[in-house]
Amino acid sequence: MAPLSAPSCAFALLFLCAAVEGVSSKRPNIVLILTDDQDVVLGGMTPLKKTRKLIGDLGTTFNNVYVASPLCCPSRASILTGKYPHNHRVFNNTLEGNCSSKAWQKTQEPNTFPAILQRYCGYRTFFAGKYLNEYGSEIAGGIEHVPPGWDHWYALAKNSKYYNYTLSVNGKPQHHGQNYSQDYLTDLLSNVSLEFLEYRTKYVPFFMMISTPAPHSPWTPAPQYEKSFLDVKAPRNTNFNIHGKDKHWLIRQAKTPMTNSSIHFLDNAFRKRWQTLLSVDDLVEKVVKKLDAVKELENTYIFFTSDNGYHTGQFSLPIDKRQLYEFDIKVPLLVRGPGIKSNMSNKMLLANIDLAPTFLDIAGYDVNKTRMDGMSLLPLLNGMVQNVTWRTDLLVEYQGEGHNRSDPTCPSLGPGVTNCFPDCVCEDAYNNTYACVRTIATPADLQYCEFDDSEVFVEVYNLTSDPHQITNIAKTIDQEILEKMNHRLMMLQSCSGSTCHTPGIYDPRYRFDPQLMFHHGPDATKLFHKTL
């Protein structure tokens, strides 16, 4: 989208971003609060009492929300673009994986939702916190690069930290040390957000994205919260510290039972993660109170979510994300705003690719003019569930990272693994590359996954009878269902825009073409076959 001239832009604002029916003449404001690595399956929302009270209890809590990829950079790229990874081309947290690369900046950043909000809808835009993991890399423009679409830019260079970091403040470096009152990142993000709200341009709609480091490692809590949750341990649910039998080799290689040192480590990590979230809870409270004080709360949508889930000991994997299971791919989503009833819950199947089209829809922009893969949630927020044809399945994609050399902590596994622990448990590998169909429909709660490896390994779970995904039923499930799920996976892996909304296999409108099933011959399409 090329920049418009002033007269054309004025016309575009009237034409492309019509006022939303049922709200004030000024378009609604939007606030997105995004946490980093916050699960929902293992109790990640438990510490956030204020957040649940101020957003969930006064709005809608969505219970079935999934990420397009269970890793920071591809997931955040999906939030910004409204696209699945196979369309935005960000596959992992490395520059080689297109994370904040020059290619990303050239092909995707100009068409992210903030760029559209700013350019066509007259929104004042504000960003504070973690953007993409490789943001600030010198070979990709350094911190001088401010992505299009942002009027106010306070972006963290590289990955999450709490102290001793550098911010890009509108393209200029701002260095921070380890003085709590001045430098603790979650609190700093709160302070600059409140400052923006205080001195914003009145009568102009705004979009704010506050992207906290918590609860990502190194899990550094604020001093006042260092002794919170000292009696808490990671949940000992039925998939904790058990062997991942019948799963992909990367899961099977985990040592079971875990060593005492690994269990002590993950329990400590679990506590510290909760401790860091208490500062996020304070941030949410301050932002809500400030919106109220400046008389913007009633005309502001507030979204709270995470970029991916997390695990602590499930299937004997100590700590990380990147896997296809619920604990890594399912995230919280709480929303309050104009016209949203209080204390509502919603079980519709959502993905983080739905956020971008939702924001544009709130702004009055015609989402059909974009090539986004997601669907606007605005009808669901407005209580129009009965009048909406919604999806019954969605796609999850991940491309594994691995080194050509052996990991020094785990030489016996050979090259190709990464993120290994001292007791020789590795959390990722180059062929930990998979795509899944996650289906939630009236007759089924299923997950079907294929790995892009020499085995074309398949995992299938019936979450109605097996919510912790212990038993892989790929070899026992009805063959017709297996064939249809394979067919549906290939459809979603090649989808773009509106074709990503086509019916799933439990929708009566679904049409099955058996000629396309199990196409894994010499010319089979790889999961991520396009080059950057």
Q: What is the pLDDT of residue 434?
A: 98
Average pLDDT, rounded, for the chain = 92
pLDDT by residue (tens digit) across 169-195? 999 999 999 999 999 999 999 999 999
The CA distance from 57 to 413, in Å, is 49
The 3-class secondary structure across 408-425, one letter per residue, is: CCCHHHCECEEEECCCCC
Mean pLDDT for the stretch of residues 389-410: 91
Token pair belonging to 383:
């209580």
CA 200 to chain centre: 28
Instruction: State the pLDDT confidence band at 18, using cuts at 50, 70 and 90.
Output: low
In the predicted structure, residue 3 carries a pLDDT above the cut 50: no
Token pair belonging to 313:
């000991």
In the predicted structure, residue 529 carries a pLDDT above the cut 50: no
In the predicted structure, residue 523 carries a pLDDT above the cut 50: no
Residue 341 DSSP symbol: P
Mean pLDDT for the stretch of residues 514-526: 53
Percent over 70 (pLDDT), the chain: 92
The percent helix, strand, coil of the chain (3-state, each to 5) is 30, 20, 50
Q: What is the pLDDT of residue 118?
A: 98
Instruction: State the pLDDT confidence band at 424, using cuts at 50, 70 and 90.
Output: confident
Q: Please tell me the pTM assigned to this model.
A: 0.94
Which residues carry out catalysis? 72
The CA distance from 364 to 358, in Å, is 10
In the predicted structure, residue 531 carries a pLDDT above the cut 80: no
Q: What is the pLDDT of residue 411?
A: 86
The CA distance from 109 to 77, in Å, is 9
Q: What is the pLDDT of residue 408?
A: 84
In the predicted structure, residue 519 carries a pLDDT above the cut 80: no
pLDDT by residue (tens digit) across 244-299? 999 999 999 999 999 999 999 999 999 999 999 999 999 999 999 999 999 999 99
Instruction: State the pLDDT confidence band at 220, using cuts at 50, 70 and 90.
Output: very high
Percent over 90 (pLDDT), the chain: 86
Residue 258 DSSP symbol: P
In the predicted structure, residue 80 carries a pLDDT above the cut 80: yes
Every domain of the chain with CATH number 3.40.720.10 lies at 29-391
Q: What is the pLDDT of residue 26?
A: 87
Q: What is the pLDDT of residue 423?
A: 85
Helices (H), 152-209: 180-183, 185-199
The 3-class secondary structure across 428-454, one letter per residue, is: EECCCCEEEEEEEECCEEEEEEEECCC
pLDDT by residue (tens digit) across 301-339? 999 999 999 999 999 999 999 999 999 999 999 999 999
In the predicted structure, residue 10 carries a pLDDT above the cut 50: no
Q: Identify the bridge partners of residue 441 per DSSP, sorted by sequence position.
A: 444
- Which numeric CATH code is attached to 29-391? 3.40.720.10
pLDDT by residue (tens digit) across 101-160? 999 999 999 999 999 999 999 999 999 999 999 999 999 999 999 999 999 999 999 999
Q: What is the pLDDT of residue 455?
A: 87
